[in-house]
Amino acid sequence: MKLIVVEDEERVASFLEKGLRAHGYSVEWVPNGQDALQRVMDPGISLVILDLGLPDLDGLDVLEGMRQRGSTVPVLVLSARGRVDDRVKGLNLGADDYLAKPFAFEELLARVRANLRPRAAASPGMVCAGSICVDLVRREVTIDGRTRTLPTREFSLLKAFADHPGQVLSRQELLSMAWGMNFDPGTNLVDVYVGYLRRKLGETVIDTVRGAGYRLRADGQETGQE
C-alpha cells in the first residue's frame, strides 16, 4: 500500500517515512500543498497523512481541494492545532481521522491501520435497504439504478443507516458507528454529513425524526419529518 506524507518539516517526514516503511508501507514525501493536490489524485494512493502547517497552503485547503476534486482516499490529519473546534473543522471538511502533535508513533501506526482496514479487509457482500444497495467491496452505493462512489465518512454513515433500515438512530449512535466517537463533540457533524447524503442520493432517502435522530427509509415507510 502506498501512503503520501504531506509534511514540510524534513525531520518529521523522515521519521514517518522510516517508521512506516519498517512496517511494510510504501511512502512518498510531499513537502508542500500544491504538489500534494496533484499527487493525492493518483489512483494508487491508499492513505494521505496530512500536516496542516504547510508553507504554501493551509492543510485544510488541501483537504477541501481533494474532496472537491472527487478524491475519496482516507486522510489522517496531523497538527499542532489540538483544540476540539480545530479537530471538528477538519472532520467537517472530509478528514477521516485527526491526530494532534506531538504524537506517539505507535498511535499513528494504529490509526493508519484502522483507516486502511475497511478497504483492506472488506469481505464480499451487499447491504440493501429500500431502493439503496451498499456495495461493501467497491465502496459504492446504488439507488434507483444510479451508482455513486462516496467519500469514506459518507460511505460509513450510509452503511450505518443501511445496517438498520427503518430504525431511528440518534446522533450519538451515528457518531459511534461512522466516526468511532464515543462522546458527543457538541457539533453538527452528523447533520452536515446527512445533508451531503441527501444532496447526492435524494432528499427523501433519510428522514429526520424530531428530538430523536435520523432513519433510512425502508420500503413502505412514509417520508418526511416527524
* The predicted structure's pLDDT at residue 218: 64
The residue with cell 454529513 is 193
Mean per-residue pLDDT of the chain: 83
Cell numbers describing residue 130: 429500500
d(C-alpha 158, C-alpha 155), whole Å = 5
Q: Which domains does the chain have, with CATH numbers?
A: 2-121 (3.40.50.2300), 126-216 (1.10.10.10)
Residue type, 13: A
Tell me the C-alpha to C-alpha distance, in Å, between residue 159 and each of 50, 173, 179, 207: 26, 13, 12, 15
pLDDT at 35: 92
pLDDT of 221 strictly over 80: no
For residue 7, give Cα distances in angstroms to 16, 117, 123, 215: 10, 23, 33, 40
Greater confidence, 84 or 151? Answer: 151
pLDDT 10s digits, 68-124: 888 888 899 988 876 677 777 778 788 888 888 888 899 899 889 888 865 433 334
Q: Is the pTM of this model over 0.75?
A: no
